Amino acid sequence: MNHAPLGDSDLHVSNLALGTMTFGEQNTEAEAHAQLDCAVSQGVNFIDTAEMYPIPPRPETVHRTEQYVGTWLAHQPRDQLIVATKITGPGRGFDWIRNGPRIRREQIDAALHDSLRRLQTDYIDLYQIHWPDRYVPMFGATSYDVAQEREHIPIVEQLQALADWVRAGKVRYLGLSNETPWGVVEFMRCATTLGLPKIVSVQNAYHLLNRTFESGLSEVCRHLNVGLLAYSPLAFGWLTGKYLANPQAHGRITLFPGFGQRYTKSSVRVATIEYVRIAQEAGLTPTALALAYVRTRWFMNSVILGATSVQQLQENLDSCRITLSTETLEQIEAVHQKYPNPAP
């Protein structure tokens, strides 16, 4: 497992990370701990979670993932692990989180205090805004709609509140998630102008069916030295190929259809068929092809893996040893040109 600096920070993260959003919904506490043990035993040092996990968010289970990670973390060498979590943004109908989540000072203070307690740690290595406080098109939306603009907490105020936690030593670095090029640039402008902590990472979706990061954010992140943490590298399981043989196969798409609407477009299926064919011709599983592709992009810092069993996780981890041939990469690019970003 390779490790590299995360953006403009001294955090050296493994190029595969463990995502935890199934912990507490699809996975028990014991299963969660087994996945954490498996990942760390093979060189993973980066654990990603969020206050709103597990997915799908429900009042009955909210915060359970951080709790499960915390009961494991309490028995680990803390300084050898990089723990990331996120504060929930507004506008998604989760008003039972802090009576309506916003990225304002009092809510940041409450969210951070509670995450530290649940995670049973004195500090968080990377604290991320799960999605912007302002309106942006995301989770399947692709066009900016001026009519949906809403009142929002100014970015400078968000950054000033977060900076106090960095100065106090409770947060080491700051990151964004589900952000746009303008958002990353504005956070960095405020930080540079006012001497506030810089953003070191952005956690956005990136996979063979969604390469939109390449069109704007890749340039921004390169010049501002912001690392990409890629989530959904298997596109909610589509890139494993299992839904081609059985559209009702067990997985998040069928268990929680409300969270997989972006994968209902017809071009998702036809593009996936092509990627599965390429994998078979290369002597690889579709999972291995998808993960190896994402991991080896020049702008990639770490790929966040999600699994519901140790067996699935092991297959994902094994992909770190795969390098795709020039011929395979050319075939992937040909499919992308034919079916560009069918699930943004």
Give 306-331 pLDDT, tens digit per residue.
Answer: 999 999 999 999 999 999 999 999 99
- Report the C-alpha gap between 209 and 338 in whole angstroms: 12
Which residues contact residue 274 at a Cβ distance below 8 angstroms, ignoring those fewer than 6 apart? 335, 338, 339
- Report the C-alpha gap between 307 and 311 in whole angstroms: 9
- Report the C-alpha gap between 21 and 119 in whole angstroms: 14
State which CATH number among 3.20.20.10, 2.40.50.140, 3.20.20.100, 3.30.750.24 fits the domain covering 3-237+290-323: 3.20.20.100
Q: List Cα–Cα distances, 46 to 12, 294, 339, in angstroms.
A: 9, 17, 33
Four-point Cα dihedral 291, 293, 299, 302, nearest 10: 10
Classify 269 as helix, strand or coil: helix
Q: What percent of the chain has pLDDT over 90?
A: 91
Tokens of 80: 């050898």
Classify 227 as helix, strand or coil: strand
Kindly list the domain boundaries of the chain, sorted by start residue. 3-237+290-323
Four-point Cα dihedral 218, 219, 224, 229, nearest 10: 0
Residue-wise pLDDT for 240-288, tens only, equals 999 998 988 988 888 888 777 888 888 999 999 999 999 999 999 999 9
Q: List Cα–Cα distances, 322 to 52, 278, 317, 318, in angstroms.
A: 33, 15, 10, 8
- Report the C-alpha gap between 116 and 170 in whole angstroms: 8
Looking at the DSSP bridge assignments, the partners of residue 229 are 203, 302
Element (H, E) at 38: helix 29-41
Q: What's at 49, amino acid-wise? A: T
Tokens of 121: 């740690």
Q: How many residues does the chain have?
A: 344
Arithmetic mean of pLDDT, 206-232: 97
| pLDDT for 259 | 74
Residue-wise pLDDT for 83-121, tens only, equals 999 999 998 889 999 999 999 999 999 999 999 999 999
Looking at the DSSP bridge assignments, the partners of residue 302 are 229
Q: What percent of the chain has pLDDT over 70?
A: 100
- Report the C-alpha gap between 287 and 9 in whole angstroms: 31
Which residues contact residue 14 at a Cβ distance below 8 angstroms, ignoring those fewer than 6 apart? 1, 2, 3, 43, 44, 45, 46, 302
The dihedral built from the CA positions of residue 108, 114, 117 and 120, taken in this order, carries a sign that is negative
The answer, yes or no, to whether residue 46 has pLDDT greater than 80, is: yes
- Report the C-alpha gap between 24 and 142 in whole angstroms: 31
Q: Are 161 and 190 in contact (CB under 8 A)?
A: no
Q: What letter does residue 196 receive in the DSSP assignment?
A: P
Q: Which residues are catalytic?
A: 53
Q: What's at 273, amino acid-wise? A: I
Q: Are 112 and 171 in contact (CB under 8 A)?
A: yes
The answer, yes or no, to whether residue 73 has pLDDT greater than 90, is: yes
Residue-wise pLDDT for 161-175, tens only, equals 999 999 999 999 999
Report the chain's mean pLDDT, rounded to a whole number: 96
Q: Are 44 and 1 in contact (CB under 8 A)?
A: yes
| pLDDT for 133 | 98
- Report the C-alpha gap between 200 and 302 in whole angstroms: 13
Q: Are 27 and 308 in contact (CB under 8 A)?
A: yes
Q: Are 337 and 262 in contact (CB under 8 A)?
A: no
| pLDDT for 260 | 78
- Report the C-alpha gap between 145 and 154 in whole angstroms: 19
Q: List Cα–Cα distances, 172 to 54, 249, 302, in angstroms.
A: 24, 41, 18
